[in-house]
A and B are shown apart, each in its own frame.
Chain A
Amino acid sequence: MSTPPSPQGDRRFDSAANGDAELLESHAKAASKQTDEKGNYSLLPLGLIFGSSALIFWAAVYVTKFSGRYDPKMFDETAPPSTGVEVVAKVDPIVAGKKLYLSACVACHLPDGNGIAGVNPPLAGAEWVLGSEERLARIVIHGLKGPITVKGSQYNGAMPVFGKVAGSGYNWSDDKIAAVLTYIRQEWGNKGAAVSTELVTAIRTKEGGRKEWSPEELLQIP
């Protein structure tokens, strides 16, 4: 059953200009690599070739520049090539040190750094804290045993072992010890210099594992 051709302006039917077989044939001919009357092949338009080449070039440059070296940790495509993520951004030692102090030291030396009379020496204004770093670091790394005179009073407690040495229950890294020492030297009105991780490492390497210091031994160290 054939459908009648539509009169002009009637939108109820769209007439087709050719049949399907014709359509296929004419386009197959257009796509086939036949030569025309003069015997020449038809060429791709130059504009198309140049255009596509330019697009490919641009895309390649873009991907190379902003790929972030395909690193799964590079979320910022503008980061310079020397950016690495292995180095953790430095944490403020005072902040870290305060956290550590509050986790372990506060039980004996108290939040105000005044210690407990006769047992645990104060840290606020103490000459041991503000004085030689060599002595101070050794106290924390290896512990202290024996009566010690701080700010004119005597204290007879036992300071546990904090460093990464044999027999230590805490095994704090050198970073942590340096942080907490920096904190106690700059808190409660103390105006001491910061303690560096390198110093702690040097001291620990030099002394190795040993039993707790006694105040007499420490006083011999400059």
Chain B
Amino acid sequence: MSTDSNDSTAIDTHSRGPLLLLLGSGVLWLVVSGVLALITSIQLHTPTFFADCAWLTFGRAQALRETAFVYGWLANAGLALGLWIAVRLGGEAMRAGNWVVVGAVFWNLGVSLSLVGIAAGDAAGHPFFQIPSYAQPLLLVAYGAIAVAGVLAWAGRRHETGFASQWYVFAALFLFPWLFSVAQVTLVWLPVRGVLQAIVAGWFAQGIYSLWLAPLALACAYYLLPKISGRVLPAYSFAVFGFWTLIVMGCWTGGRHLIGGPVPAWIASVAIAACSLMVFHYLVVFLNFRSAIGAKSSALYFTSFGLLAYLLSGLVEAVISLRGVALHAQFTFVEQAVQQLSLYGAVSMVFFGALYFAVPRLVGKNWASSSLVGGHASLVTVGVVLLVVALTAAGVAQSHMMFGATQPAKFAEVASATRPWLLVATAAQVALLLGNLMLLVNFAQTVAALVPFRAAANSVSRPALKSVLS
């Protein structure tokens, strides 16, 4: 099998600093959010866990976990991988790498500040938008700095005709600041009135997934599968329709969380219709990838798993948005299960795949440990599957007791009915955390080779390392 051309290698080497910084921060945040996820998972079945600590009370811990996961891990990894694909496909070395470094540093400072603020009680209180008001402008400006490299990658691209990955990357890079700034204005600086906040928050949360994270994941998938398999994507000629369906229809589906709520009925009805129209997008994705699913390599394995989860999540959303089903699934753990399926099962797994593909090329040497890669793959697979299944089962039990009964349900009974499943979910979180720790260790060991002073200090004990760098 041939390796990448020398052009790509030069591009990778040139952009390694900013991208490895972003990826490293992302993996660190992944572990942090894993710890927080474990805490909240335990608190669900054992409420006394950290109950006396105001900083980690369940409501705040949930917000912490979500922020660390989305704005810590997914944002850093997504931006790194997106920029990497953009510069590689653009055929030019990354420009404004320093801007990316500065942006990354301030983005991570912003996320850290957000976490401290949330723990202190300043969370903004909306799904996927818990960032305190004082950290929001910082994140927006930091994002702008990182995105400069993306803009320049676009402007300086060598080939006029674009590839699907490029559409998705540039769409994600372009749309995020609009989404984020609109949400800031309408929810924090000049808050809209009453239930409109819930409507805007739903629109924003859906936009974060459909217009930012999912496009970044799809960009990675569209790049990796033909690259590793060597075959042209079978349905590529209509990939463009799938792209525009996602972009146009994606944000409308947010209203499905407001079914039966204190909003006019048309918001939910339009959202349900949009969820069904989105099936077309998932169909196009399926047609493009059905032949390339496989496990030849870790990147391909993770990407295939992620794509399967993505397709499943799309189908589940279309079904769960129907009012008859939403009646039972609303407000239960089923919604959390669907969210974990989308964010962890789909987007994160594709990011893992792209990470495993990109890092050796950026660093210039293979991953430090093959067994850690395998361990991460197994643990994360088991973790995600267990988590989604356990949360779904807990949600079904909840729904059966609360919505099936004609007399008031005693919440103590509901709690004991869901307890076994929540214990399984905690076990899944342990597996995920262990797997991600393996990734962190592996990543650190792989990147350690780049640190010059360490190489010099170990020059006696690690001759092989020295020869690689000389």
Contact = CB atoms under 8 A, between A and B. Distances in A.
A68 B266 contact: yes
Q: Determine chain A's interface SS by DSSP, over half rule.
A: loop
Interface in B92-149: none
B7 A68 contact: no
A134 B204 CA distance: 63
A63 B268 CA distance: 9
Given A12-B370, A14-B300, 4 more contacts: A13-B367, A48-B283, A58-B276, A75-B264
B7 A19 contact: yes
Contacts of A62: 269, 272-273, 276
Given A11-B367, A12-B367, A77 B232 contact: no
A59 B274 contact: yes
A1 B276 contact: no
A210 B9 CA distance: 101
Interface string B348-362: 000000001100110
B6 interface: yes
Interface stretch (A23-31, A111-119, A125-133): A23-31
Given A30-B237, A59-B276, A75-B263, A23 B366 contact: no
B280 interface: yes
Contacts of B3: 2-3, 5, 15-16
A16 B227 contact: yes
Contacts of B240: 31
A5 B1 contact: yes
B226 A27 contact: yes
B4 interface: yes
Contact of B360 (A12, A20, A26): A12
Nearest to A42: B237
A55 interface: yes
B232 A26 contact: yes
B366 A18 contact: no
Nearest to A69: B266
Contacts of A21: 5, 7, 91, 159
Contacts of A12: 360, 366-370, 373
A107 interface: no
Q: Determine chain B's interface SS by DSSP, over half rule.
A: helix
A71 B274 contact: no
B467 to A, nearest CB: 12
A66 B269 contact: yes
Contact of A52 (B88, B264, B270, B280): B280
Contacts of B163: 23-24, 27-28
Interface of A: 1-6, 10-21, 23-24, 26-28, 30-31, 42, 44, 48, 51-52, 55-56, 58-60, 62-63, 66-68, 70-77
Nearest to B271: A63
Which of the listed residues B89, B227, B265, B373 has the most CB atoms from chain A within 10 Å of its own CB?
A: B265
Contact of A77 (B229, B268, B287, B298): B268
Interface string B215-239: 0000000010011111011001111
Contacts of A2: 3, 6, 9
Contacts, number: 176
Given A1-B13, A14-B357, A15-B1, A60 B269 contact: no
B232 A6 contact: no
16 contacts: A3-B364, A5-B1, A11-B297, A13-B367, A14-B228, A14-B297, A15-B1, A15-B2, A15-B297, A16-B357, A20-B227, A28-B163, A30-B233, A55-B280, A67-B266, A75-B262
A48 B280 CA distance: 8
A24 B264 CA distance: 47
B396 interface: no
A92 to B, nearest CB: 26
B277 interface: yes
Contacts of B263: 75
Nearest to A29: B232
A30 B236 contact: yes
A183 to B, nearest CB: 34
B226 A74 contact: no
Contacts of B2: 15-19
Contacts of B6: 2
Given A27-B232, A73-B264, A3 B227 contact: no
Contacts of A17: 1-2, 227-230
Contacts of A11: 297-298, 356, 367, 370, 373-374, 377
B9 A59 contact: no
B283 A13 contact: no
A95 B163 CA distance: 71
B195 to A, nearest CB: 10
B279 interface: yes
Contacts of B461: none
A2 to B, nearest CB: 6
